[in-house]
Amino acid sequence: MIKKILYFLKYPFLILSVIAIVISCEKDFKNIGTDLVNDNIYSSNKYNAQVRGYSIRIPSNITNGMGNYLLGYNENAQFGTLTASIATQLTLPETNPNWGENAVIDSVVITIPFLSKLIGNISVTNPNNPTKTILVPNYELNSVYTSGANNFNLNVYELGTFLNPLDPTDPTKVNEFFSDQVYLKTGSPLYTGAISPNKNDTMMVINRHKYTNDQWNTIEFYKKDTVKLEKAPALRIPLDKQKIKQLFKDNDIANGFNFSSQDNFNRYFKGLYFEASNSGNGAALAYFDMKKAYMTIFYTESTVDTTTNTIKGEAKSFQYSFTGITTNVYDRDQTGFLVENYLINPNITTGDNKLFVQGAAGSDAIIHLFGNDTNTDGIPDELSTLRDNNWLITDAKLYLYVDPSNTTSQYPDSLYIYKIENNKKYQTYDVKKFGYGMVGGYLVYDTDSIPDYYLFHLTDYVSEILKQNEKVKVVDFGIKVYDPQDGFDFLKPNDTIIKEYNRNFKGVVLTGKNPTLTPRDLKFEIHYSQKNN
């Protein structure tokens, strides 16, 4: 979007020309339209065209290169459960990190920032002096979804699968990782425990250790370090420091080749696997900014103070960022939940009375317009009849109402519409011509601020397809939860295939063709003007 704006700003005369044309055309159209209607030359009408829908399961999504990633467990009465895990590479702070002499690893902590907003300051107990308080920033967590005890179980493993940046089948292409991929885990967990998102988790205390004065045989505690996070609250996970010592410090000193380059390191230590699971007494699912996540090895270098002839400690650390490949794993269980039968046995012929749309390898709705094609000529019977009317199409509205059975509070803010051709997903005719903003798909609320419906405009598609011998194909449409990577790039007009990204786990149950819920059932309205006889 920024590129588009900058492109037009380079040519201010284009902007003025476009504005002038739009204003002129709008004025002319409104004036002509008003005169025609007032003179009873044309009349405006509405026609409810045939429409049916059903739901399909989305087996997987591309989950690398997303920026924000899901971690945790969520349960929904309509859609079932979702468990989201993460596999990620670590990036060397430097090649062959210099541990110095007599280094003691004090603590190993993973820091993964929440998506959050600063709303002020709060007073907390000073960890170094419990009798005093200190002011720390107070944040609001923007993307944490919890219930019950607000937690999930987490195991952190050494990753056993190499995350190859290149496609093994075609090394000229960048590799894509899908949400149903299975990853190997190496050894016992580096961490295991329950995770509860905490918005005030903005600092931590590190117990520092150094060698004693008895010929480097034993270590002792010598001070506490309070480490403040620079910006936002984060999930902090302590790892087994003895295992990290063996994998990082001992191996680096004994075999520096594994730490001599990023590629060598990635093949030696393939990364970390964050395996979430249901805690059994609650649910917590959160988005994390993995590009800002890192693992810190806090260590103390012991040296001899020649003045006092004692051993002193110097606090140090290495920071391994997660700026390599990161990918999500989604594990869905829909067994016994409302969505299950609709996905197993969709009514393709006449449509279902409920439609299920959910992101993150959930489900899409398939929409079929204009009824059946009984003579198998490739054109629905209703469409053939409508083509004889010579209508001037002023709008074509697809209404998707929120079903009364929907009890979730996690509604998608926006849905996205795409066309289906040859089993592939493409941008729609209207999106390519006008952009997504003109097509719609935003959640509309009623006067009581209750989610009511989603509305799509397919005006130009219908206008074109109603023309006799029109080359625009009759297609089915898919409805999915909107993802930022769905947007159409006008600078690449030929790149219209929609890639299988979707990090938005939210879902909504929509009303299909259900006469008992009229007028809130699935609806396709064609608004037109027609010359009076």
Paired tokens of 512? 């299909």
Give the mean model confidence (pLDDT) for residues 75-101. 93
Q: What is the pLDDT of residues 117-136, one digit of tens each?
A: 888 877 877 767 778 887 77
DSSP strand pairing (170-174 vs 166-167)? antiparallel
pLDDT, mean of residues 337-364: 95
Averaged over 469-488, what is the pLDDT?
86
pLDDT band at 3 (very low <50, low <70, confident <90, very high): very low
How many whole angstroms separate alpha carbon 329 and alpha carbon 62? 10
Looking up tokens 């890192």 gives 294
Tally of CB atoms within 10 A around 150? 18
Burial-class residue 420 by CB neighbours within 10 Å (0-12, 13-18, 19+).
middle
Rounded Cα distance, 498 and 97, in Å: 43
Look at residue 334 and tell me whether its pLDDT is greater than 50.
Answer: yes
The SS3 call for residue 312 is strand
Task: At 442, give phi and psi (nearest 5°).
Answer: -85, 150
226, pLDDT greater than 80:
no
Least reliable range by pLDDT among 123-127, 364-368, 390-394? 123-127
Burial grade of 141 (CB within 10 A; 0-12, 13-18, 19 or more): buried
| Cα 318 from Cα 305, distance rounded (Å) | 24
Q: What is the pLDDT of residue 405?
A: 79
pTM for the structure as a whole: 0.85
Produce one character per residue of 461-477: b if its CB has 16 or more CB atoms within 10 Å, e if not. bbbebbeeeeeeeebeb
Span 345-361, average pLDDT? 95
Q: Which residues have CB under 8 Å from 460's CB, separation 6+?
A: 429, 430, 433, 434
Predicted confidence (pLDDT) per residue in 263-290, tens digit: 999 999 999 999 999 988 878 999 998 9
Summarize pLDDT for 449-458 with one digit per residue, the tens: 899 999 999 9
C-alpha span between 389 and 179 (Å, rounded): 48
Decide if pLDDT at 448 tops 60.
yes
Kindly report whether the peptide bond that precedes residue 519 is cis, defined as omega within 30 degrees of 0: yes
Give me the mean pLDDT over the 127-147 stretch: 80
Measured CA to CA, the distance from residue 272 to residue 109 in angstroms comes to 13
Give the Cα separation of 263 and 91 in Å (integer): 10
pLDDT at 303: 83
As a whole number, the mean pLDDT across the chain is 85
- State percent of the chain over pLDDT 70: 89
Burial of 129 (0-12, 13-18, 19+ CB in 10 A): exposed
In this prediction, residue 67 carries a pLDDT of 77
pLDDT of residue 21: 37
- pLDDT digit string, tens, across residues 497-532: 888 999 999 999 999 987 676 788 999 999 999 877
Q: How high is the pLDDT of residue 523?
A: 94
Distance CA 420, CA 498 (A): 10
Task: Calculate mean pLDDT across residues 425-442.
Answer: 83
Cβ–Cβ under 8 Å, residues 53 and 351: yes
Q: What is the pLDDT of residue 1?
A: 41
Residue 4: pLDDT above 60?
no
Provide the pLDDT confidence category of residue 490 given band limits of 50, 70 and 90: confident
Predicted local confidence at residue 514, as pLDDT:
74
Parse the chain into domains and list their residue ranges.
1-36, 40-60+334-531, 68-324
Q: Is the model more confident about 431 or about 287?
A: 287
Q: What per-residue confidence (pLDDT) applies to 115? A: 87
Number of C-alpha atoms within 13 angstroms, CB side, residue 62? 15
CA distance 395 to 47: 11
Q: How confident is the model at residue 22 (pLDDT cuts 50, 70, 90)?
A: very low
Whether the per-residue pLDDT at 7 is higher than 50: the answer is no
- In the predicted structure, residue 201 carries a pLDDT above the cut 50: yes
Question: Using the 8-state DSSP alphabet, how is residue 456 labeled?
Answer: E
Closest to 244 measured CA to CA, from 315, 190, 192, 301: 190
The contacts of residue 129 (CB under 8 Å, 6+ apart) are none
**For the segment 314-329, what is each residue's pLDDT rounded down to a tens digit?**
889 999 999 999 999 9
Instruction: Summarize the confidence of residues 362-377 as an average pLDDT.
Output: 93
Q: Which band of pLDDT confidence, cut at 50, 70 and 90, is reported for residue 200?
A: low
- Render 220-279 in DSSP notation, one character per residue: EEEEEEEEE-SSS-EEEEE--HHHHIIIIIIHHHH-GGGGSSHHHHHHHS--EEEEEE--
* 44-48, 133-137, 369-373: segment of lowest average pLDDT: 133-137
How would residue 209 be classed by pLDDT, with cut points 50, 70 and 90? confident
8 A C-beta contact, residue 318 and residue 297: yes
| Mean local confidence (pLDDT), 135-151 | 81
Model pLDDT, residue 280? 83
pLDDT at 16 over 70: no
